[in-house]
Amino acid sequence: MDVLDRMFEAAKAARDRAYAPYSRFPVGAVVVTETGALFVGCNVENAAYPNGLCAEAVAIGQMAVAGERRITDVMVLGAGDEPITPCGACRQRLLEFSRDDTRVHLVNISGRKDTVLLTDLLPRAFSRRQLDDLARENNQR
């Protein structure tokens, strides 16, 4: 099985575990790291709505706790005809651990797929680069 097929199977299994009684919109996400490891997440909602977690955030948490830091590929799986895209906050979360060439595979359950670069989903993003630049300037003073 190639990596995209493995990601799709993993995303479906994760989505089946989603806890989404309020939106009834289960989502599965997978991140793949430079070592080739896959980490999955599903959305986990809460009666206090804003406390809900997106599938991508859960996958990133699993990756971080395993000691991994660099994402090469992301897959997000939701229902509907159009493949879904990560919310704004998750684009920023993903960017933290991504490279300039990190791909995001947007899929629906029938397997329809669209692949985009994360940097195209979040152009001119704020990142640690700006923080590092400022720290360097401050050190020079």
Which spans of this chain sit near ligand THU (rule: CB under 6 A)?
Answer: 20, 23, 25, 27, 43, 45, 52, 54-56, 76, 84, 86-87, 90
Shortest reach from residue 87's CB to ligand THU, in Å: 5
- Assigned token pair, 4: 């995209």
The position carrying tokens 């206090």 is 48
Contact present, 91 and 104 (Cβ < 8 Å): no
Catalytic residue among 34, 56, 68, 137: 56
Angle at which helix 55-65 crosses helix 3-16, to 10 degrees, equals 110
Shortest reach from residue 70's CB to ligand THU, in Å: 21
Check if 56 is active-site. yes
Q: Which is nearer to ligand THU, 111 or 135 (CB)?
A: 111
φ and ψ at residue 130, rounded to 5 degrees: -65, -40
List, by residue number, the catalytic residues.
56
